[in-house]
Amino acid sequence: MEVIGTVIDIVIGMAKEAVEVTLLLSAPMLLVGLAIGLVVSILQAVTQVQEMTLTFVPKIIGVMLALVIALPWMINLMVAYTENLFASIPNLIR
């Protein structure tokens, strides 16, 4: 029974780390999109311009800029996660 508990702990730990990496990777683009959407919404409310498509172009440009700026960090994070995952394979096969 102790082996099953250990396997469950390992799987939960791996899933937790995968979720953390996913959240970290998506955070810059999501936060930029949120901030731009908020600013455009405030501007629309102030100017009373209610154009539905007005938010798309600034969001696309902002998210692409955030992606370009954060890409080196994102690649380093993914490489570190993958190296850690591959390094832990011998410990998982017991």
Domain boundaries, position 67: 2-92
The string of pLDDT tens digits covering residues 46-81 is 988 888 788 889 999 999 999 999 999 999 999 999
pTM score over 0.85? no
φ, ψ of residue 51 in degrees (nearest 5): -95, 120
- Say if residue 15's pLDDT is above 90: yes
- Say if residue 33's pLDDT is above 90: yes
pLDDT given for residue 55 in this prediction = 82
pLDDT given for residue 48 in this prediction = 86
pLDDT given for residue 26 in this prediction = 96
Could you give the CA distance from residue 32 to residue 6 in angstroms, rounded to a whole number? Answer: 40
10's tokens? 């390992």
Domain count, the chain: 1
